[in-house]
Amino acid sequence: MEGAVTEPTGAPGAAPCEAAGPAIFAYDGSDLAAYAIEQAGIQLAPGREALVVCVWQPADVGFVPAKGRHLHAAAANEVAEAAQETAAQGAEIAARAGFRARPLTVEAAPTWKGLVKVAQEHRCGLIVIGSHQRSGLLGHLAGSVAAATVSHFDSSVLVIHKPH
């Protein structure tokens, strides 16, 4: 079910967002993603609605599962469940940073496509994403979720770099 967006039980459906729209936080369970959410809490107005999005793929998990869970990537139901747990963990971080956050998962490859899809479906004007500061030829050849998101999203992307 490529590109499907799922929300936890009891969460509202894909109804249009409020005028300013929520911020999208790309959350893959990494320290960098958590740092990006925390920094966004400093940069953005408190109380803003936020969707914490964990993008997953059954063949290549694409995130660090919450609770140290070990997965067999071929078991899509396990990966989807772990993605929901990971998104919930990110939503907790966002709530502590002052956002009205809710978790969301999307199955998509590559990751940037899932982020842009969610942002478009929810009429979001901002995606927040952490990025490694890569330089040189390797940085350009390896590609970057942040760079791809910036180049494919028609609205604003806040790229947060963690100091070394």
Q: Of 52, 47, 57, nearest to 129 (Cα)?
A: 52
Handedness of CA 107, 112, 117, 122 (dihedral sign): positive
CB 98 within 8 A of CB 39: no
pLDDT of residue 12: 37
Select the CATH number that applies to the domain covering 21-161 from these four: 3.40.50.11720, 3.40.605.10, 3.40.50.620, 3.40.50.300: 3.40.50.620
What values do phi and psi take at 125, rounded to 5?
-100, 0
pLDDT in tens, 90-142: 999 999 999 999 999 999 999 999 999 999 999 998 999 998 766 655 555 44
- Residue 15's pLDDT band (boundaries 50, 70, 90)? very low
> pTM for this structure?
0.77
The predicted structure's pLDDT at residue 37: 97
